Amino acid sequence: MGDLTGPNSGIVIPPRNGAKLVIDEYNKTNPAVKIELVEYDSQGDGSKAVALAQQAIKDDKIVGLVGPAFSGESAQVAPVLEEAKIPSISASATNTKLAENGWKFWHRVLPNDGVQGPSIADFIAGGAAAKNVFVIDDKSEYGKPLADAVRAQLGTKGVQVTNDSLDPTESDFSSVVNKVAAAKPDAIFFGGYYAAGGNLLKQLRDKGVKDAKFFSGDGSLDKGLIEGAGAANAEGALVGCPCYIATPDVTDAKVKGFADAYKAAFSADPAIYAAEGYDAATVFVEAVKAGNTTPEKINEFIASANIAGVSKQIKFQANGEVEAKDIYIYQVKGGAITLLGKAAEAKLG
Amino acid sequence: MFNDFINQFWPATIDGLAFGSIYALIALGYTMVYGVLRLINFAHSEVFMIGTFGAMFVPFTLGINSALTGFALVGVIVLMILAGMLASAGTAVALERIAYRPLRKRGASRLAALISAIGASIFLQELFALVIIPNVFDRPQQGRVQMGLPRLMERTELFSIFGHTVRVDQVLVIVAALGMMVVLDRLVNATKIGRGIRATAQNPESAVLMGVDIDKIIRMTFLIGGAMAGVAGALYLISYENTNYFIGFLFGIKAFTAAVLGGIGNLRGALVGGIVLGLVENYGAIFFGSDWKHVISFTILVLVLMFRPTGILGESLQQARA
């Protein structure tokens, strides 16, 4: 479940494809119990997502849910699933608070913003050696806490931080841009999704803010950021992500096998969260393979699962968080997103 | 804080003027239709949206994907403006014909026309998201994703005010918008059609007795208002280089606010309202942060209406001397 046709669908379609890949692979082996993948297009809208979740539970009788993709809709859908006792695994919702509700049926296969924000901030202050940082958020359930985590961590490092927020439904960010231009920062962090991020980056560069390095979080890790900003403006932009994207030069056999299968099925390289979507669906497939077919049984299996996934070792804590906590840094080079390395180790070339 | 204001005053002024001009052009459509029909055309936001796509169609068909200069650039910009005007004016006239005239002929209440407008607005948004963007603009499955325009015009500096750059595209928007306003003002005040529009606005019954063809005048009103929204759409697209099926929503609300702020039914009021709104938004953002932009503009609207219920300029098309 997630935004499959809306403005930020670019970060939801890859995990959907990843999930589809696993389930198709599994069904091809002609198992005794086949798994059917039903898609729910919430367009990222919480109220639509809740209605769809109810439909999924009552009419389609789902046994598990991959998603919801975004944090905002997750906060609304998770209680519904909890009540119906349907396990869910999100491949992309990273809001920290989601894990604090005591939900027993909710999980995610990637670390939260509480990990992502500080790691990116450490990189801004360390690897990128910035002293004066302008932090912008989009006031969303995802962008604001992420930006706040970055602000707090930068504060502890003695970095000067200036703040502003924007409304992502707007297209004119000139008031934000004027503030940035006046503050003359050496780095800018944007907490929000790529649709607004691309426009913001373009307007910043057009206004002559050219030297400040542009950082963002996983919500902006999409080629839409480059399309929105224009390749020349996006060049050098840095994006942090708890996700792992297999780049073509990958050597690990398991990851390479996944990347090749993905490319063969969807004629595109795996993009953001594709590996996480694959892993989330893998957990469900393994659960069914182990003979669990009811939602409760599957949830018990998930709680004790310890599976070698494509992106990481999948092992859940009691609150639904995954144990592995690596954040990766990506950089736009020559109009494409390339992996720079783990945030703790990455260096700017 | 005052330091911030002084530092950011000039860039905020230029951005406010450029954005305000776009608001003003859209506001004209609201204000003209209101002046003549006493009706708020809430589908006007979609007329603007269609204008941006009309303008987008030109570089899309010509396959332009790098910056132009000289006559080629001027030619493409003129074509884009014309295409935007054509698309928007066509939509506005069709709206009048399909969504409003049948109701008017049956003497339905204005409330019915309002509902009809909201329905038409949703219909047009979904039409673009589901049919036109995926098919005409060749973006299957991406009807709701923002569509970008390749850079047509290099963002060169034209001149600077107190060390703050003024770019060519900002000047283009302001100059073109003001030019359109002057043309429109002359059209309404100095031509036969303009006299018909003013007569209908003042007293439709007498206008009919004097031989004014009301249906034609109403059609012209929608056509002119639509064309202005089309110009706004093209200018917006050239300057911000993106659009989407939902773009009309916020612009519609803001332009309607501008029309009310300046005095609804008053053409010059739309200009004043648009520019004031654009400036106030940007100045307010300096003090309170960009997230307070909308709060500031609507607070100003409430304050103006409390003390001057007819808006800043007040006098409307109805009372204007013939």
Specify the DSSP class assigned to residue B149.
-
- Mean pLDDT confidence for B238-253: 91
pLDDT tens by residue, B300-313: 888 888 888 888 88
Mutant choice from B125, B142, B146 vs A, greatest count of A C-beta within 10 A: B146
Are A175 and B145 an interchain contact pair (Cβ–Cβ within 8 Å)? no
**Residue A250: predicted pLDDT:** 72
Contact B290 A10 (CB under 8 A): no
d(CA A334, CA A232): 8
* Distance between CA atoms of residues B204 and B216, nearest Å: 13
Q: Residue A251, exposed/middle/buried by CB under 10 A (0-12, 13-18, 19+)?
A: exposed
How far is Cα A31 from Cα B225, in angstroms, rounded to an integer? 64
Q: For residues A268 and A263, what is the distance between their CA atoms, to the nearest angstrom?
A: 5
pLDDT of residue A312: 87
A43–chain B Cβ distance below 8 A for any pair = yes
Q: How far apart are CA B217 and CA A219, in angstroms?
A: 50
Is B19 in the A-facing interface, judged by CB distances under 8 Å? yes
- Cα distance between residue A303 and residue B184, in whole Å: 69
Contact B150, B66 (CB under 8 A): yes
d(CA B217, nearest CA chain A) in Å:
35
Q: Which residue has the higher pLDDT, A25 or B6?
A: A25
**pLDDT beneath 70: ranges in chain A:** 248-249, 349
Nearest C-alpha neighbor of B117 from the set B37, B215, B204: B37
Task: Give CA–CA dist A118/A154, Å, rounded.
Answer: 8
Whole-Å CA distances, A86 to A7, A99, A278, A289: 28, 16, 19, 18
DSSP character string of B208-241: HHTT--HHHHHHHHHHHHHHHHHHHHHHHHHHH-
pLDDT value, residue B322: 38
Decide: helix, strand or coil at residue B159. Answer: strand
CB pairs under 8 A between A and B: 93
Q: What are B37's two structure tokens?
A: 């029909």
The pLDDT score that the predictor gives to residue B254 is 92
Phi/psi region, residue A8 (left: phi>0; alpha: psi -120 to 50; beta: rest), is alpha
pLDDT of residue A164: 92
Predicted confidence at residue B318, as pLDDT, reads 55
Q: Mean pLDDT, to the nearest integer, of B287-297?
A: 85
Residue B315 predicted with pLDDT over 70: no
* Closest C-alpha among B305, B214, B319, B217 to residue B266: B319
The answer to whether the Cβ–Cβ distance between A9 and B145 falls below 8 Å is: yes
With residue B140 as reference, give the H or E element that holds it: none
Exposed, middle or buried, B253 (CB in 10 Å: 0-12/13-18/19+)? middle
- Residue A183 structure tokens: 């503050």
Closest chain B C-alpha to A293 CA, distance in angstroms: 34
Task: Measure the CA–CA gap between B263 and A92, rounded to whole angstroms.
Answer: 48
pLDDT at B321: 43
B157 membership: H or E segment, kind and range: strand B157-161
* pLDDT in the model for residue B319: 57
Among chain B residues, the shortest Cα distance to A194 is held by B146
Whose tokens are 């905002």? That residue is A72
In three state form, how does the secondary structure of chain A look? CECCCCCCHHHCHHHHHHHHHHHHHHHHCCCCCCCCCCCCECCCCHHHHHHHHHHHHHCCCCCCEECCCCHHHHHHHHHHHHHHCCCEEECCCCCHHHHHHCCCCEEECCCCHHHHHHHHHHHHHCCCCCCEEEEEECCCCCHHHHHHHHHHHHHHCCCEEEEEECCCCCCCCHHHHHHHHHHCCCEEEEECCHHHHHHHHHHHHHCCCCCCEEEECHHHCCHHHHHHHCHHHHCCCEEEECCCCCCCCCCCHHHHHHHHHHHHHHCCCCCCCHHHHHHHHHHHHHHHHCCCCCHHHHHHHHHHCEEECCCCEEEECCCCCECCCCCEEEEEECCEEEEEEECCCCCCC
pLDDT of res. B1 = 66
Task: Answer yes or no: do A179 and B290 touch at CB < 8 A.
Answer: yes
Question: Which residue in the block uniquely carries the two structure tokens 């609150």?
Answer: A319
Picking from B173, B20, B151, B15, the residue whose alpha carbon sits closest to that of residue A174 is: B15
